[in-house]
């Protein structure tokens, strides 16, 4: 019985999952390892090392064979030198990386015409003290830009750098400014100008030229810090830092918005975009999707009819938010991703960092990035800009932020439908549109709402019932599949399980929710038709100004429809909790 109790206790005690990735040439061997370990809560990095060794993952030997890895060991994309972090408690979901060359050899053994060899020649020529490139690892991918961490050897020892370049090393497209995306060369200039004006960020050392045959991009300083928005909001290590972040963000934006555009030549480099430009661009993308989402149309019309006077025209980062900031225990150490900067209304930046989507689950008491208050943000801004914050314009851009992301999530799902990206992640993210739509409800038409209750019994005589099939498959994905997979497969298992959560809730609430929506539409529009036909009729009535934006019946219908839909799509979202608190 004693052994049985121990076995039962071992299987039922809570565990955390930690992923270890070792890729590249380390010492004399080549490694490509991706393993997930289950550890007791509170386990440390030091305790992981012997466990990994016993499991055949050469974590200790890899560090011993390549001593520089002790300083470049990374956890969740941030550098954590081994010696000073042996006692660091690991958290569920941590990912540990050992950085090594991405292809064949290092330094003197790169293939003569390889990407690594061409890059090494540039670094030796342009970076003072650089003797050779010893390691390179791709840190991010996707349709935006590529980011690499570089290791170079110098007389003073190993040194880390960063490379940001266009996807696949493509050349810079002509007339980028006309597309409101200035391009990597101007992005590098923006970062240099920002540093000169007291805005924290990495130093840019060199901008790639066509003759380098590496594509568009630039080499910059490597900074150590936390850039993941959720970790900034939740990490215990930043508990003492978070209360001062909002004011720091305000101070940074105040400096940014007083940069002399003409003096730095930015007036010739950047597009000028107004609120009307943004609305038309976003509404055009939405209408091209041909999906009836009445709350999106309501918000687009509200934004159009309430465009504020914006006398100021300044540099606007345009993506200044939690997730594009790097933070350590001292506060904000870098503003990242300047790739869509433009000249426009400075209040756009203040509204965007307050948009609920970038609060990462924090409640309305911490509207600034999920870590601070409006008061601190505005106080910091006014201290460095010597200009008063226009609260009405900030709130306008906060509404626009939710409108923009509501459309963008639908556009991502369109990538699935067209075959550009047939992943479960792409098809599922479209349901996040209701998160943004409920934020628009809370900002524009707050009020009481009646939530649909689950029926006592689902009208399904089959055995097993549909809900049982869906529930069992969902539990399998959330349980065994997640435990026994790693990397992207494990992540997609999580997303697939979440997708089945939506189906499961829809089986319980969806039919009654749609029945009530249909009934409300008949009364609101004084006509009949299918649910889809009536949704389109309401959309066109809103677009054509045939229904007033202050119509109380319209507000009641939109609020009930959106809030009950997000109860199916994502009931844990903070915006749903805010709306449901006002239930009838």
Q: What is the pLDDT of residues 219-244, one digit of tens each?
A: 999 999 999 899 999 999 999 999 99
- Residue 96: pLDDT over 80: no
pLDDT, tens only, 529-543: 999 999 999 999 999
pLDDT reported for residue 70: 60
Residue 283 and residue 383 in one domain: yes
Mean local confidence (pLDDT), 439-456: 92
Distances (CA, A) of 193 to 201, 258, 554: 10, 12, 48
Task: Please report, rounded to a whole number, the percentage of residues in the chain having pLDDT higher than 90.
Answer: 63
Does a structural domain hold residue 423?
no
pLDDT reported for residue 177: 39
CB-count exposure of residue 40 (10 Å: 0-12, 13-18, 19+):
exposed
Does a structural domain hold residue 57?
yes
Q: How many CB atoms lie within 10 A of CB 345?
A: 26
End-of-domain residue from the set 152, 187, 221: 221
Mean pLDDT of the chain: 87
What tokens does 108 get? Answer: 């003197």
How far is residue 558's CA from residue 517's CA, in Å, rounded to a whole number? 9
pLDDT reported for residue 579: 95
Residue 214 and residue 235 in one domain: no
> What confidence category does residue 67 fall into, taking pLDDT thresholds of 50, 70 and 90?
low
pLDDT, tens only, 337-365: 999 999 999 999 999 999 999 999 998 99
The helix/strand count (H/E) of the chain reads as: 23, 14
> What confidence category does residue 59 fall into, taking pLDDT thresholds of 50, 70 and 90?
confident
> What confidence category does residue 102 fall into, taking pLDDT thresholds of 50, 70 and 90?
very low
pTM: 0.82
End-of-domain residue from the set 410, 434, 460: 410
- Residue 433: pLDDT over 50: yes
Does a structural domain hold residue 113?
no
Residue 247 and residue 388 in one domain: yes
pLDDT reported for residue 174: 44
Does a structural domain hold residue 63?
yes
pLDDT reported for residue 193: 98
- The separation between CA 581 and the C-alpha centre of its own chain, rounded to angstroms, equals 27
pLDDT, tens only, 470-486: 999 999 998 888 888 87
Q: Which helix (H) or strand (E) holds 50?
A: helix 45-54
What is the domain-level CATH number for residue 38? 3.10.20.30
pLDDT reported for residue 11: 43
What is the domain-level CATH number for residue 287? 3.90.1200.10
Residue 462 and residue 394 in one domain: no
Does a structural domain hold residue 108?
no
What is the domain-level CATH number for residue 174? 3.30.200
Residue 213 and residue 249 in one domain: no
pLDDT reported for residue 41: 84
Task: Please report, rounded to a whole number, the percentage of residues in the chain having pLDDT higher than 70.
Answer: 88
Does a structural domain hold residue 301?
yes
Residue 195 and residue 255 in one domain: no
Q: How many domains does the chain have?
A: 4
- Residue 101: pLDDT over 50: no
Does a structural domain hold residue 422?
no
What are residue 219's phi and psi, to 5 degrees? -105, 135
CB-count exposure of residue 143 (10 Å: 0-12, 13-18, 19+):
exposed
Mean local confidence (pLDDT), 363-375: 96
Residue 25 and residue 70 in one domain: yes
Domain that holds residue 59: 2-98
* Mean pLDDT lowest among 35-44, 185-194, 238-247, 359-368: 35-44
Residue found under tokens 């994309």: 77
More confident residue, 140 or 494: 494
Q: How many CB atoms lie within 10 A of CB 9?
A: 9
Mean local confidence (pLDDT), 139-165: 82
Residue 264 and residue 385 in one domain: yes
Residue 204 and residue 249 in one domain: no
pLDDT reported for residue 30: 58
Find out whether 228 and 77 touch, Cβ atoms under 8 Å.
Answer: yes
pLDDT reported for residue 175: 43
Find out whether 276 and 307 touch, Cβ atoms under 8 Å.
Answer: yes
Does a structural domain hold residue 430?
no
Mean local confidence (pLDDT), 5-18: 56
pLDDT reported for residue 1: 43
pLDDT reported for residue 7: 39
End-of-domain residue from the set 221, 251, 282: 221
The segment with the largest mean pLDDT, out of 233-237, 458-462, 557-561, is: 557-561
Residue 209 and residue 283 in one domain: no
Find out whether 36 and 17 touch, Cβ atoms under 8 Å.
Answer: yes
Q: How many CB atoms lie within 10 A of CB 276?
A: 11
Residue 255 and residue 385 in one domain: yes
Residue 342 and residue 465 in one domain: no
């Amino acid at each position: 019985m004693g052994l049985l109790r121990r076995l039962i206790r071992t299987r039922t005690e809570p565990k955390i999952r930690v992923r270890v990735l070792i890729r590249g040439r380390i010492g004399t061997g080549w490694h490509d390892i991706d393993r997930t370990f289950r550890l007791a809560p509170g386990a440390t990095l030091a305790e992981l090392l012997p466990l990994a060794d016993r499991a055949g993952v050469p974590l200790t030997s890899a560090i011993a064979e390549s001593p520089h890895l002790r300083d470049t060991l990374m956890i969740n994309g941030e550098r954590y030198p081994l010696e000073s972090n042996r006692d660091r408690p690991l958290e569920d979901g941590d990912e540990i990386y050992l950085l090594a060359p991405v292809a064949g050899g290092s330094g003197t053994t790169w293939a003569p015409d390889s990407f690594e060899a061409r890059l090494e020649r540039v670094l030796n020529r342009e970076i003072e003290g650089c003797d050779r490139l010893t390691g390179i690892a791709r840190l991010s991918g996707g349709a935006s830009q590529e980011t690499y961490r570089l290791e170079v050897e110098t007389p003073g020892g190993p040194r880390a750098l960063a490379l940001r370049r266009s996807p696949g090393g493509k050349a810079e497209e002509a007339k980028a400014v006309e597309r409101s995306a200035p391009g990597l060369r101007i992005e590098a200039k923006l970062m240099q100008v920002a540093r000169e004006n007291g805005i924290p960020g990495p130093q840019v050392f060199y901008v790639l030229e066509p003759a380098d045959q590496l594509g568009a991009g630039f080499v910059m300083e490597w900074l150590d810090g936390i850039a993941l928005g959720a970790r900034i909001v939740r990490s215990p290590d930043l508990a003492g830092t978070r209360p001062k972040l909002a004011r720091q963000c305000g101070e940074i934006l105040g400096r940014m918005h007083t940069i002399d555009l003409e003096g730095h030549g930015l007036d010739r480099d950047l597009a000028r975009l107004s609120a009307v430009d943004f609305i038309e661009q976003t509404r055009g993308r939405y209408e091209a999707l041909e999906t009836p989402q009445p709350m999106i149309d309501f918000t687009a019309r509200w934004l159009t009819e309430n465009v504020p006077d914006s006398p100021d025209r300044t540099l606007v980062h345009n993506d200044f938010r939690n997730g594009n900031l790097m933070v350590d225990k001292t506060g904000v150490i870098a503003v990242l991703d300047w790739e869509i900067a433009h000249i426009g209304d400075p209040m756009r930046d203040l509204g965007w960092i307050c948009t609920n989507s970038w609060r990462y689950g924090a409640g309305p008491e911490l509207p600034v990035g999920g870590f601070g208050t409006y008061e601190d943000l505005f106080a910091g801004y006014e201290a460095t800009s010597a200009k008063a914050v226009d609260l009405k314009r900030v709130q306008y851009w906060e509404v626009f932020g939710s409108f923009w992301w509501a459309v963008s999530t639908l556009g991502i799902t369109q990538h699935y439908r067209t075959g550009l990206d047939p992943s479960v992640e792409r098809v599922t993210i479209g349901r996040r549109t209701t998160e943004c739509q409920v934020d628009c409800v809370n900002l524009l038409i707050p009020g009481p709402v009646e939530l649909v209750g689950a029926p006592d019994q689902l009208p399904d005589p089959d055995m097993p019932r549909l809900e049982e099939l869906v529930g069992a498959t969902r539990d399998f994905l959330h349980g065994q599949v997640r435990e026994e997979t790693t990397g992207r497969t494990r992540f997609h298992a999580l997303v697939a399980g979440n997708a089945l959560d939506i189906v499961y809730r829809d089986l319980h609430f969806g039919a009654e929710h749609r029945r009530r929506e249909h009934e409300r539409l008949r009364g609101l529009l004084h006509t009949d038709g299918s649910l889809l036909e009536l949704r389109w009729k309401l959309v066109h009535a809103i677009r054509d100004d045939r229904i007033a934006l202050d119509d109380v019946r319209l507000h009641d219908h939109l609020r009930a429809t959106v809030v009950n839909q997000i109860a199916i799509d994502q009931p844990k979202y903070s915006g749903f909790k805010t709306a449901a608190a006002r239930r009838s």
